[in-house]
A and B are shown apart, each in its own frame.
Chain A
Amino acid sequence: MAFSVLIVDDSPVMRGFIRRVMTLSGFEVGECFEAADGEDALAQLQEHQVDVILTDINMPKMNGEELLRRLETHERFRSVPTLVVSTDATRQRILRMLSLGAQGYMTKPFSPEALRGELERILGERHVSRT
C-alpha cells in the first residue's frame, strides 16, 4: 500500500527532490501533490485527501508556522501528520514548530534513509499495518 503525500515548499526543485528521495528511499509514495506555500496547501487539502504533509517554513504568502496553526483549527486536517523540512536547525525553531502541532522535524541536509525513517515514525501504526 502506498501513501498519498502533500509537499509544501516554494522551491519547485526542492519539491521535486523530496518527491524523488522518498521514492529512492523505498518509501511507497502513491499520489503526490505539491503546493508552493501554505495557502496553496490548504487549497490542495480541500481537493485531495493525504496521509502526510511535508512542509517548509519560510515561504511567501503563508509560511509553515501559519499553515500549522490553520491545520490545528481544522477538524479534518488536524489529524493529518505533518513533517517540517527546513534548513533551520536551531533548537528554538524546532521546539516552536513541534509546539504548533508538527509531528516531526527534518533539517536539511538529510539523507533519503533519514527521511524514510522519520516518515515511518510519524506514520507509526498506519505504516506498519499497510506494509
Chain B
Amino acid sequence: MSQELEQAVAPELESIDGVAAEVMETMFFTEAVVAGCSHGWLSEALTARVGFDGTHCGEVFLTISPEAAQSIAAGFLGLDTLELAEPQLEQVILELANIFCGAAMSHLWPESSLMLDAPKLVDAELPVEGFWHRCFALPEGMMAVSIGLRGPMAPAEGN
C-alpha cells in the first residue's frame, strides 16, 4: 500500500480501533488493543457477518478466537466459562458483531441511514483484500474485523 493511500484510509481505521476498544470495554468488560495481522489463529475462529444497506451498502465480518469467545461470552452473561452452553456463546458473538457493526457505522458515517441485517455465523474465511481490516489482541485471545463497502466508496485493495 502506498504512503498516500495509507494516509487516505487512516481515519476509517482509527474509527474502527476506537469503536472496538469502546465496545469491548463498555459491554464486554475487557480490552481490545490493535495487534499485528498474523492470521494463523483464524482457522479455529468463530466468524459472524452483518450486512448493511441504505446510504452505504456492504458487510462487516467479526472473527474471534475460541478462548476469547468463551471468555467474553462468560463475562457478558455473568457466568463461569464452564457454565457456558454453546448456543449462548454463539448468541453472544452474534450480539458482539451486531453492536460492533452498529457502532462502527455510526462513527464512520454519522449522517447515514442504514438497515442492518440480522448477524449470522458463517464458515467463510475472513476477507481482508478490499476491506478495512484490523486485528486486536484481547486478554484471552484474538479478534479481527473487516468492513467492506460495495460501490464507489469501497476501500482500495490491500487496506
Question: A90 contacts B113, CB within 8 Å?
Answer: yes
CA distance A17 to B95 in the complex (A): 11
Q: When the two chains form their complex, are residues A91 and B99 in contact, meaning their CB atoms are under 8 A apart? A: no
A109 in the interface, Cβ–Cβ < 8 Å? Answer: yes
A14's contact among B95, B105, B111, by CB below 8 Å, is which?
A: B95
The reply to whether B76 and A17 form a contact with Cβ atoms under 8 Å apart is yes
Known interface pairs A14-B95, A90-B111. Does A109 touch B27 (Cβ–Cβ under 8 Å)?
Answer: yes
* Known interface pairs A17-B27, A17-B77, A108-B27; A90-B110 also in contact (CB < 8 Å): yes
Assuming the A-B contacts A86-B102, A91-B110, A108-B102, are A13 and B23 also in contact, with contact meaning beta carbons closer than 8 angstroms in the complex?
no
Tell me whether A72 is interfacial, beta carbon within 8 Å: no
Q: Known: A13-B76, A13-B77, A58-B116. Is A89-B92 also a contact (CB below 8 A)?
A: no
List the B side residues contacting A17 at CB < 8 Å: 27, 76-77, 95
Asked if A13 contacts B106 (CB within 8 A), the reply is no
How many residues of chain B are within 8 Å of chain A by beta carbon? 27
Q: A11-B94, A90-B106, A108-B103 are in contact. Are A20 and B78 (CB under 8 A)?
A: yes
Main secondary structure of the interface of B (DSSP, over half): helix
Task: Given A17-B77, A88-B106, answer yes or no on A11-B95 (Cβ-Cβ < 8 Å).
Answer: yes
B102 touches A91 (CB 8 A): no
Interface size band for A: 20 to 34
Complex Cα gap A104–B73 (Å) = 28
Are A13 and B99 touching (Cβ within 8 A)? no
Contacts of B106 in A (CB 8 A): 88-90, 107
Cα–Cα distance between A89 and B98 once the two chains are bound (Å): 13
Check if B17 is an interface residue, CB within 8 A of chain A: no
Closest beta carbon of chain B to A112's beta carbon, Å: 9
Give the CA-CA distance A90 to B78 in the complex, in Å: 30
Is the pair B112, A88 in contact by a Cβ cutoff of 8 Å? no
Q: Name the interface residues of B97-135: CB closer than 8 Å to any CB of A.
A: 98-99, 101-103, 105-106, 110-116, 118
Point out the residues of chain B lying under 8 angstroms from A89, CB to CB.
102-103, 106, 110
- In the assembled complex, the CB of A61 is this many whole angstroms from the nearest CB of chain B, namely 13
- Residues A37-68 near B (CB distance < 8 A): 58
Contact digits for A71-112, partner B, Cβ 8 Å, 1 yes 0 no? 000000000000000111111110000000000000111110
Interchain nearest-CB distance for A100 vs B (Å): 16
Task: Tell me which of B77, B95, B116 contacts A88 (CB under 8 A).
Answer: B116
In chain A, what residue has the closest Cβ to B103? A109
Interface presence of A30 (CB below 8 A): no
State the 3 A-B residue pairs at the shortest beta-carbon distance, nearest first: A87-B102, A89-B106, A109-B26
